[in-house]
Structure 1
Amino acid sequence: MSNDVSNERRDAVREKAKKVTARIRRRKIARRAAITVVIIAAVAAAGWWVWKTVTPELDRPVVEPKNLTGDGVDILSTIPEAERPEMDENPIAIDIYIDYMAPDAGVIEQNLAPQIYELLDEGVVTVAYHPLSLMPNESNGSQYSTRAAAAAMCVVSEHPEAFRAFNTALLSAQPEIGTEGPTDEDLVAVAADAGAPGLHECITEHTYAPWIGEATTRATESDLPETDGIRATQPIVLADHQQYEGGLDDPADFSQFLLTLQSEQYYGDVDSGDSE
């Protein structure tokens, strides 16, 4: 009799264990299903965002910005003609390729730009900025790189004299990588503070975003002389088509780089004259 009781107890325990195991399995399945639904929803939301914000811009016609030299903003041309400095016969041409979210772009503006602008005022150099969208996916989905560069084109097209202040303002208050960055309304406000009012529609409608995309492709696919190509997180500074490879936070090093170029230019002209 005792054996029968023991067997019944064992059978009851087994049955209960089966029920518990089945319950746990059902919960796991339900949990996996819920996670799957969340993932699908997230993917769908991301897909919807891309369709809503990116696809329409890709389908829009490309609007050419005004007041550019090639794909760059020649700072000298943004200065009112009566206020432009008298230029040397052979000024050094400085080109700066930037993404407004790239940290090194801010380093350049803080450390090298003051010296560059001083030399521009002295007529020793010319300087052109090339705003690009190299890091559009680093702003938590807001496409800040594209929006900021497109806003810069709004400024230079309608208020070229305000570009320098607008450019410096963006590079002096860069968002952290991985954050959304300033909104379109914020960019409108920065433009107005820089002396470029009335750009709400141009900036919020991302008028020049398609052009920025094409300009970025041209820059990244071109073989810039004496460089290793444009990289997303490291802006390129060229002087007379030669890449500056020194410290972006070292004005003295950059000054020496320019002096070397001037020396090479001078002796090259002398040698050329002698050979004649």
Structure 2
Amino acid sequence: MEYDALTGWDDDTTAEAYAAFTRAYPMYSASSRDLAARAGLTRSRVIVDLCGGTGTTAEAILALAPPDATVISLDSSTAMQSIGRRLLSDPRLTWVNAPAEDLAAHVPARSVDAVVCNSAVWKTDVAAVAAAVRRVLRPGGRFVFNIGGAFAGVTHPDTLPMPSMPSLSVLIERITARDYGIVPAAAAVPPKLPLPVITRLLTDAGLDVVATEVTGQRTTTAERAAWLSIPVFAHPEGSLTYEQKMAILAEAAAQSNPDDVTVTSWLVIVAERPEQS
């Protein structure tokens, strides 16, 4: 079976694997708490969890939102939201099944104090999303989101000792080449959403970038292996089946030290709708 990293989210296997990962490992919950803290939610009345998936970010928002606030978790995946409804019950939380680009069709204009989006902007039409966010935000409202380092072209300055063994990515490449004759392309792929591009898209939509930061998150090899077992993230990309990719991952993990730590980089952006707009 094959899964596409853009369209495979509305799949029960992917949704269950993702939900299991978020419960077992801190990556998404930690980044969700960071974004929610940057959104300034203490006086917010309406907050949107954009591309909210199974509700990990909504949970972080609810922990900081006032008791009378409304949180709207919007996502296009029925499978992801089905799990979220099962795992997260709060009278302040409303689920909306729709693409991020259609946000303004489901939320009244100038009604939202903050929009938070964790790890998902890269797979949207960013220009359309920025325009929709600007439309629903109140003047002074915030749009807080992050982009993975590879997509943003950033690296956190923290350095760590070299791992005791080759990384999972290197081992996966070696095993794939040995068993299937598939060698990764040598040419480097330019980052899809570097800060100048993001800034231009937000500015064109009528939003001001007020803060940016490159953050780093420590990730063990065991956590990365679990992340790579989620169907939409399984490597190598391409024509191999999920079962073949999992066999490669299992062999690579067996040759790795599960406690080795690397730093995962993220570009965090805070934008606002100007007060006079």
TM surpasses 0.5: no
Whichever structure has more strand as a proportion of its residues is: 2
Structure with the bigger percentage of helix: 1
Q: What range is the shorter-chain TM-score in?
A: under 0.3
- What is the TM-score with the length of structure 2 in the denominator? 0.28
